[in-house]
Amino acid sequence: MNDTLEEAARIIAGSKNLIAFTGSGISAESGIPTFRGKDGLWNKYNPAELATFEAFINNPKVVWEWYSWRINLVLNAKPNLAHEAIARLENAGILKVVITQNVDDLHERAGTKNLIKLHGDILIARCISCNYKERLSESPRNIPPRCPVCGGLLRPDVVWFGEPLPTKELKAATEAARKADVILVVGTSGVVYPACLIPFVVKNAGGKVIEVNISESAITEIADVFFKGPASRVLSALVSRVNELLKK
């Protein structure tokens, strides 16, 4: 890992426009399950029954029960060393923006400021009739929760299968990727469109791709540097070395 670490640290320290792209693997060590793989959520649950608008309209109670469980997981989780390392890179002025597919708030709680959330936010409930939004500090007491303004159904403000990504966020992420000279990709299988195209936009524009994952992903084939290992360990070591290089 030492040669790889040195190479990646030098690329990052020399970058002018570094961005990061994260997936559920970065939150795995905080106890939030990923979607794919042996212990992944989509191995135990059927996304068609829990993560589509149709499923929600047919059975809002079941969908909200599942989301309440996940909301509690997020509220009880803490950012890990990987989220903290990413925030340190931003603090050092070298990382310009973090684009995440995650709906948890662990990047924010670790201190990341410039964050684009492509798949929404599990801690926001949104009215399907009047678009009223509220931030949840606990899972809803009455399920399914109702809008205090118009009485409509509230839904989790996340992107479900078959739904478009939020326009403003997708545009901002694509523009950031076009301008980036390096992208740090952490803990994503890279198979969910269109978010997974972000590293390819960077690569096609001539940028470098550094990937951290416990196993190979759909992005590994375009990675200039691939670290096989848990995000917390790899990113702590990588960011410490980048900070040393920046001080020289």
Q: Give contact residues for ligand OAD (rule: CB under 6 A).
A: 23-25, 28-29, 34-37, 40, 101, 119, 158-159, 187-189, 192, 212-215, 217, 230-231
Q: Which two tokens stand for residue 246?
A: 């920046």
Cβ-based nearer residue to ligand OAD, 84 or 142: 84
How far lies 236's CA from each of 9, 19, 69, 229, 239, in Å? 11, 17, 30, 12, 5
Options 70, 83, 117, 119, the catalytic residue: 119
CB of 120 to ligand OAD, least distance (A): 8
CB of 58 to ligand OAD, least distance (A): 19
Q: Which two tokens stand for residue 54?
A: 């149709």
Residues whose CB is less than 8 angstroms from the CB of residue 238 and which lie 6 or more positions away in sequence, other chains included: 5, 8, 9, 12, 85, 212, 227
Cβ-based nearer residue to ligand OAD, 42 or 132: 42
Cβ-based nearer residue to ligand OAD, 83 or 208: 83
CB of 41 to ligand OAD, least distance (A): 8
What does residue 180 show for φ and ψ, rounded to 5 degrees? Answer: -70, 145
Burial category of 151 from C-beta neighbours within 10 Å (exposed 0-12, middle 13-18, buried 19 and up) = exposed
The residues facing 123 across adjacent strands are none
d(CA 90, CA 93): 5
Contact 77, 29 (CB under 8 A): no
CB of 187 to ligand OAD, least distance (A): 4
Give residue number: closest CB to ligand OAD.
25
| Cα 120–Cα 103–Cα 149 angle in degrees, nearest 5 | 50
CB of 150 to ligand OAD, least distance (A): 26
Cβ-based nearer residue to ligand OAD, 5 or 245: 5
Handedness of CA 197, 203, 205, 208 (dihedral sign): positive
Whether 119 sits among the annotated catalytic residues: the reply is: yes
Cβ-based nearer residue to ligand OAD, 192 or 245: 192
- Which residues are known to be catalytic? 119
